[in-house]
Structures are given as C-alpha cells and as structure tokens.
Structure 1
Amino acid sequence: MTKKAFALRLDPAVHAAVERLAASELRSANAQIEMLLREALARRGIEVPVAKPPKRGRPKKGE
C-alpha cells in the first residue's frame, strides 16, 4: 500500500484540535485526518475502500 503525500494548510486552531483528538484516540494526526475524511465521505454516500496492508515477513518458499 502506498500513500500519496501532499501539503495540507490548516488553520493552527484546527490543527491543534486534530492533534488533541488524535492523542485521545492514540493515533497520529495524519491517521486522524484520514479517518475524519473517510467519515465525512461516508456521510455523503461516498465509500472509499480500505487498502490492504502490505505483507510482512519473509515470503514462503515457492512464492
């Protein structure tokens, strides 16, 4: 899974609120913003599939 990086300009008060919310839910601010965007899209009827995480560890023999 690759993620697209881009600059996001936020009002400092909004950023501080996101950081507080993220800390209370044990997430990074980036993960919190992504979750909030997914929730907002879902409320508008736009479902975004969650990407599968990359496989971890060594590949099995024969793969």
Structure 2
Amino acid sequence: MSSKPKKAYPLRLDSELYEAIEKWAADEFRSVNAHMEYLLREALRKAGRLKKGPAAPESEDG
C-alpha cells in the first residue's frame, strides 16, 4: 500500500449496512475502517479504475 497520508472522510451508513460490514470485518480480523478501505480498493481494481499493485495488508487498524 502507498505511504501517502490518508484522507479523513465522514460517511453516513444505514445501521443495517454498518452492522453487516462490522461483522464481516471482525470475521476477517480487520477494523471496520480497514475493511471498508479493502472492499473499496478491490471494487476499484475489478472495475479497472485503480492500477493493480500490492494488496492492502490483511489486518490493519484504522
């Protein structure tokens, strides 16, 4: 992953969506924030909107 500083961004989510992401993140031993970043990065790669590079670390707090 890049050494660029991270940009903070407020995000409002439906509570049901958040709870599902929270459980999935726990199942993957990630924080919710790290898991959301992982999911977004994977979706961008699959859509061809992000150059392929090293995958994000499997467990990252944040």
TM-score (norm 2): 0.72
The one of the two structures with greater contact order (alpha-carbon pairs below 8 A, sep at least 6) is: 2
Report sequence identity in percent: 48
Question: Aligned letter for 2:26?
Answer: A
Inter-partner Cα distance in structure 2 for 1:3 and 1:47: 16
Larger radius of gyration: 1
Gaps (5+ residues) in structure 2? 55-62
Number of equivalences: 50
Matched, 1:36 2:35: no
Matched, 1:14 2:17: yes
CA RMSD of aligned residues (A): 1.4
TM-score (norm 1): 0.71
Gaps (5+ residues) in structure 1? 51-63
Structure 1 ranges of 4+ moved more than 2 A: none
Inter-partner Cα distance in structure 1 for 2:23 and 2:15: 12
